[in-house]
Amino acid sequence: MMRNKQKRFAENRERPNIFEPEKPGYEEIKGNWHDKYFENDNHITLELACGKGEYTTGLARHYPERNFIGVDIKGDRIWWGSKDAIDENLSNVAFLRTQIQLLEKFFVDGEVHDIWITFPDPRPKKRDIKRRLTSPRFLDMYKKVMQKEGWVYFKTDNPGLFDYTLEVLSDRDDIKNLCITRDLYHSEYIDEHHGIKTRFEKMFYEKGFSIKYLKFQWN
Ligand SMILES: C[S@@+](CC[C@H](N)C(=O)[O-])C[C@H]1O[C@@H](n2cnc3c(N)ncnc32)[C@H](O)[C@@H]1O
């Protein structure tokens, strides 16, 4: 198991679609994703907490005229999405290995168009509230790196995290067009699912959890 992980880490170091510490480009990519990596001006969508990157690659197949970057701290997970993208010649895909807290180190203001947050860790303990990916300081950061007309999309199986997120959003006066469903698969938003189930989505859906979904724009 350990050897597999080490092998993946070594392969990640050679993969042109992975940006991670100590690789060329990692420190210089901020503000340069369009020119230096994608070589086009197409919109950039981030998948935060991407894990194996099912949404990153899945959306990239649906939308070849857009760019997608999966962000996660775990190299052995992004290895999978990176491999799929290379095998399928998806040139509109990249992966960034970093703590999401450091997003502003990698994107200038307005460099990102949309953000998907897919099944982030619920972090139920009170002392971990600040680490939830929909807590106010994270939302402030997303707003900064995003274009104003972009959308933030959020999917979770976890009712506690979903309610918490709704509470955080209701305290803000800088969002608009909030759409909500507690049962995505039986809702009017099902087309936005694109038939892409992430690993955690599958796991929790099979355990009987409904998929909660919301999206909004900045004012
Ligand atoms: C529950 S998994 C979900 C993975 C994937 N989105 C899915 O639905 O299968 C949460 C992921 O978030 C990543 N993660 C959690 N906190 C993070 C942070 N602060 N920065 C970067 N990645 C983080 C973990 O490494 C993990 O892969």
Atom of ligand 1 nearest to the CA of 47: 6
Return the closest-CA partner of residue 85 out of 57, 48, 43, 55: 57
Distance CA 13, CA 9 (A): 6
* Domains detected in the chain: 1-16+35-98 (3.40.50.150), 113-218 (3.40.50.150)
**For this structure, is 35 an active site residue?**
no
pTM: 0.97
Instruction: Give the Å distance between the CA of 107 and the centre of ligand 1.
Output: 19
Angstrom distances, CA of residue 117 to CA of 58, 120, 179, 212:
14, 7, 15, 12
Out of 76, 121, 128, 191, which one is annotated catalytic?
A: 121
Question: pLDDT category, 2, cuts 50, 70, 90?
Answer: confident
**Encoded tokens for 157:** 């199986």
Return the closest-CA partner of residue 46 out of 158, 150, 130: 150
Tens-digit pLDDT profile for residues 72-100: 999 999 999 999 999 999 999 999 999 99
